[in-house]
């Protein structure tokens, strides 16, 4: 491939004795290979030295004279990406959410309120001991992309960046700065001799209803947004949350839980956000997100989520927000909150299981995407194609029936009435198709969307386990102190148990929840066809 220039965004210390190369922020590299794998690129620095460096640490230098393009619909906020993360701590109602930027559609330079910025840069213990920014999605390769429907999706992080982000190395080695003691522990049990680990069952399961989104205005109507009302069953106290609050929550959760798959939020929407059907649909999507959260033994009880579900006071909200953002037991260090079985794990048993699971998840992910595609396709076809076909059938019959009315002897024609009623029936069936999509295909799609989010997170989690095992084995080869090695093994085991508990949870969800979803879908399809049968029966009765 052709080489290209890349600017270094963050310092990176190459491991001595390896192919890694030390690079410094601001330096310009010539990238010579991007297919090294696992998030590594190969390049030359200005001194002509060659080596590997993390892709996520550099940004491709784009041509300084951009090609002539039509003006985009959206403000070109990506340029400010790197600068957008300072001084945003107290923005309970600031403009960083999607409700706002469509109201300033021509603002080409939103100064500090970039929607994708994280709100603070916390010091954590990253890979290699460097201080990294919170979110690797700020690099050039992970810019938000707007698709043709006005939906914004973040491209998924690559495995290397999740490794970097997780602080795995620091956790396994027990290096890095001092960490606080966890004030809540999550228990994992072993169910048999097998590696079947599972999370402790939630003692007080609860649900959260998200209801009646309201369009609210502030600043004298200049800004308006949609507020969703959430009512947890354990408190019965309604809290009002906007999409931006969900978005913040999701960032926190993704930041904290690298070993637990976080259900995805509905995609950001640029256009049509105040249309009734969009609002109602987003409510349904957020309900799916909430449902998954509530059913997860860890997620449903974690502090930031409970804070999100319960806080009604602005001051407390800000305090909770700050606490969450300063949380240090994130990434691999979350394992410090986990109480796992004592029994040591044998790599010979675990490794093939992880590989199997990886294959399994990759295939499942593909099949889920495929069914999502079908569901989306059918949804569109119900609204367009099927509706059109049945309407056309209806119109053909109706026209024929109407032609009968022009009876050459002016006689009333029963046949005309009957044939017209066939026409009306098919037109009604056409409308049924249009309405149906919202009832069966869309909920199926929304549920699969959650699972797709999970199945695309799981390979990263499984790979993290592999990297952890790798690190452990590396230590076994080189370690001199037996005590330290036992600790390293234990920490790797806790991580492995966590990964297996997570896999187990996913499997239970899939078997119960996904099955229920399928059943509901089938029931709705059945009702739909029963409805068609009814309409046809009613029409047929006229013929007797």
Angle in degrees, CA 387, 393, 399, rounded to 5: 125
Interface of this chain with its own copies, residues 173 to 202, rule: CB under 8 A:
194, 196
Whole-angstrom Cα distance, residue 392 to residue 433?
13
Residues found in the chain:
544
What 3-state DSSP class applies to 158? coil
Q: How far is CA 498 from the centre of its chain?
A: 20
Does 393 sit near its own copies (CB under 8 A)?
yes
In the complex, minimum distance from the CB of residue 540 to its own copies, in angstroms, rounded to a whole number:
5
Are residues 442 and 382 in contact, defined by beta-carbon separation less than 8 angstroms?
A: no
Residues 519-538 close enough to bind its own copies by CB under 8 A: 519, 521-523, 525-526, 529-530, 532-533, 536-537
Q: Which residues pair with 8 in a beta bridge?
A: 58
**Positive or negative, the Cα torsion across 496, 502, 506, 508?**
positive
Helices (H), 57-190: 98-101, 159-166, 168-173
Total number of residues that touch its own copies (CB under 8 A): 64
Applying CB under 8 A, among 317, 404, 439, 489 the residue interacting with its own copies is 404
Member of 177, 215, 326, 363 binding its own copies (CB under 8 A):
363
Contact between 515 and its own copies (CB under 8 A)? yes
CB of 526 to its own copies, least distance (A): 4
Residue 357 is a binding residue for its own copies (CB under 8 A)? yes
Between helix 243-256 and helix 276-295 the angle, nearest 10°, is 30
Q: In this chain, which of 202, 371, 383, 479 binds its own copies, going by CB under 8 A?
A: 371
Per-position x/- string for 102-131, each x denoting binding to its own copies as judged by CB under 8 A, each - no binding: ------------------------------
Q: How far is the CB of 413 from its own copies (least distance, A)?
A: 6
Specify the residue for token string 């290979």. 33
- Of 267, 285, 301, 312, the C-alpha closest to 210 is 285
Name the nearest CA neighbour of 41 among 28, 53, 56, 29. 53
Single residue of 153, 209, 212, 370 touching its own copies by CB under 8 A:
370
Stretch that binds its own copies, among 131-139, 274-282, 480-488, 499-507 (CB under 8 A): 499-507
Instruction: State the Cα angle at 301 between 297 and 305, rounded to 5°.
Output: 125
CA–CA distance, 273 with 275 (Å, rounded to integer): 6
d(CA 204, CA 356): 34
Interacting span for its own copies (CB under 8 A) from 7-15, 91-99, 151-159, 366-374 = 366-374
* Nearer residue to its own copies within complex by CB, 50 or 376: 376
User: Which spans of this chain sit near its own copies (rule: CB under 8 A)?
Assistant: 194, 196, 353, 356-357, 359-360, 363-364, 366-368, 370-371, 373-374, 377-378, 381, 389, 392-393, 396-397, 399-400, 402-404, 406-409, 411, 413-415, 418-419, 422, 503-504, 507, 510-512, 514-515, 518-519, 521-523, 525-526, 529-530, 532-533, 536-537, 539-540, 543
């Amino acid at each position: 491939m052709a080489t290209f220039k890349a600017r270094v965004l963050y310092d990176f210390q190459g491991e001595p004795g390896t192919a890694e190369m030390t690079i410094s922020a601001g330096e310009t590299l010539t990238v010579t290979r991007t297919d090294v794998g696992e998030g590594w690129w190969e390049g030359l620095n200005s001194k002509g030295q060659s080596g590997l460096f993390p892709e996520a640490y550099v940004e491709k230098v784009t041509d300084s004279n951009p090609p002539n393009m039509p003006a985009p619909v959206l403000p070109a906020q990506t340029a400010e990406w790197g600068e957008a993360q300072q001084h945003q701590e107290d923005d309970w109602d600031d403009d960083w959410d999607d409700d706002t930027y469509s109201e300033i559609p021509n603002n080409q330079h939103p100064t500090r309120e970039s929607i994708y910025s994280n709100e603070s840069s916390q010091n954590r213990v990253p890979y290699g001991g460097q201080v990294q920014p919170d979110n690797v999605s700020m690099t050039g390769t992970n810019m938000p992309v707007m698709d043709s429907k006005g939906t914004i999706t973040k491209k998924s992080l690559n495995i290397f960046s999740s490794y970097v982000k997780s602080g795995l190395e620091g956790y396994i080695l027990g290096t890095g700065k001092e960490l606080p003691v966890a004030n809540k522990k999550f228990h994992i049990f072993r169910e048999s001799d097998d590696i079947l680990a599972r999370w402790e069952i939630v003692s007080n399961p609860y649900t959260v209803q998200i209801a009646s989104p309201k369009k609210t205005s502030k600043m004298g109507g200049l800004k308006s947004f949609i507020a969703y009302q959430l009512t947890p069953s354990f408190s019965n106290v309604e809290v009002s949350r906007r999409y931006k609050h969900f978005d913040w929550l999701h960032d926190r959760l993704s930041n904290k839980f690298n070993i637990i798959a976080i259900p995805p939020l509905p995609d950001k929407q640029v256009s049509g956000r105040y249309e009734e059907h969009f609002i109602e649909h987003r409510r349904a999507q957020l309900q799916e997100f909430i449902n998954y959260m509530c059913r997860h033994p860890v997620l449903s009880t974690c502090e930031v989520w409970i804070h999100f579900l319960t806080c009604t006071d602005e001051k407390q909200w800000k305090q909770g927000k700050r606490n969450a953002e300063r949380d240090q037991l994130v990434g691999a260090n979350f394992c410090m909150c986990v109480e796992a079985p004592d029994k040591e794990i044998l790599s010979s048993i675990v490794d093939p299981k992880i590989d199997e699971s990886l294959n399994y998840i990759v295939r499942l992910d593909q099949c889920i995407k495929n069914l999502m595609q079908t569901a989306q396709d059918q949804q569109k076809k119900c609204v367009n194609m099927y509706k059109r076909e049945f309407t056309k059938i209806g119109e053909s019959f109706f026209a024929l029936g109407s032609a009968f009315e022009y009876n050459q002897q002016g006689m009333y024609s029963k046949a005309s009435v009957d044939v017209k009623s066939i026409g009306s029936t098919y037109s009604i069936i056409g409308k049924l198709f249009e309405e149906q999509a919202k009832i069966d295909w869309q909920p199926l799609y929304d549920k699969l969307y959650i699972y797709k989010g999970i199945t695309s997170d799981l390979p990263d989690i499984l790979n993290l386990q592999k990297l952890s095992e790798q690190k452990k084995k590396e230590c076994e080869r080189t370690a001199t102190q037996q005590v330290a090695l036992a600790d390293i093994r234990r920490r790797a085991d806790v991580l492995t148990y966590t990964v297996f508990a997570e896999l187990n949870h996913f499997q239970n969800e899939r078997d119960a929840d996904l099955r229920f979803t399928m059943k509901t879908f089938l029931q709705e399809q059945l009702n739909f066809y029963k409805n068609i049968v009814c309409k046809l029966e009613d029409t047929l009765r006229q013929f007797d």
